Amino acid sequence: MSAPRIPPTGALLAFDAVHRLGSARAAADALGLTPSAISHKLKALESALGFPLTEPHGRGARLTPRGARYLAQARRALALLHVAAEAESPPAAGSLTVAAPPAFTAGWLAPRIGRFRAVAPDVRLAFTAPAAAEVVVAFAEPGDGAETLIEVAFFPVCAPSLLNAAPGLRRASDLAQVDLLHDGDADDWARWLAAAGAAQVDAAAGVRFADLTAAHAAAAAGQGVALGDALTAAHALGSGALVRPFAFEIPSRRAYVLRGGRSAPAGAFARWLRAELAAA
């Protein structure tokens, strides 16, 4: 039996870093290499795999469908290696302040924070405002030197009672009969409705909230339909407080990104966060 094709870890790290940080130069800076070394590792990876990972797109390149699938699998493998290394390394110690969007914190991060405490019990963790935080997780357009943690798609969510009540939500056009719940960005509803073939529904109708957490609370109480993603709505979907009336979803133009943090506790948190998101 032939040996499995397992590329060098350095090539996988380079592949991950380029698409996580947005450029070969940023990846080179993060890994302590030159851009030409990054390029060499990517070519070697494609050669080892026997298929292209990227294709020309405009003035740059983008992942091929096969490349995107391989990147997701490679990140899961790297996350397992990170977890194994973390388990055998001296635990980080000290204080760490973190800022993250309220909906991301409530819907996904807070229910998992015990897992970070298990691998870094000596880190004194505190959540605070972005201006006072060493590490900031933001939902923003990729770029500006921030590390892209994960890209998401968004979809409608509502209470089970609203889904089952007359006249029900069977088609996207039925959303005209309920309140749309917004978190400040009406463009998201407009994009989803247009893509779902329901552009006739008034995307600006309904109620606006200051943040997505409040919109999801209103949705769970049967007050209308909000938008969410697999992270912000994770806890409510898992508990049954929210359901997805439609399977259709569209990619967000924004992503969860990571900024700041050079201390040992910040590094431990970033590694743990990448591993958790890779498994999400």
In the chain, where are the structural domains located?
Answer: 9-89, 151-254
Q: Which amino acid is it at 228?
A: G
Q: What is the CATH number of domain 9-89?
A: 1.10.10.10
**Among 3.90.580.10, 3.40.190.10, 3.30.465.10, 1.10.3720.10, what is the CATH number of 151-254?**
3.40.190.10
Question: 243, 74, 82, 224: which is closest to 155 by C-alpha?
Answer: 243
Q: Which amino acid is it at 134?
A: E
Alpha carbon separation from 251 to 34, 150, 152, 248, 254 (Å, rounded): 33, 12, 6, 10, 9
Q: Are 181 and 223 in contact (CB under 8 A)?
A: yes
Residues paired with residue 157 on neighbouring β-strands, in sequence order: 226
CA 8 to CA 47: how far, in whole Å? Answer: 12
pLDDT at position 88: 60
Question: 158, 171, 137, 128: which is closest to 227 by C-alpha?
Answer: 158
Q: What residues in the chain have per-residue pLDDT under 50?
A: 1
CA 29 to CA 181: how far, in whole Å? Answer: 42
pLDDT at position 93: 67
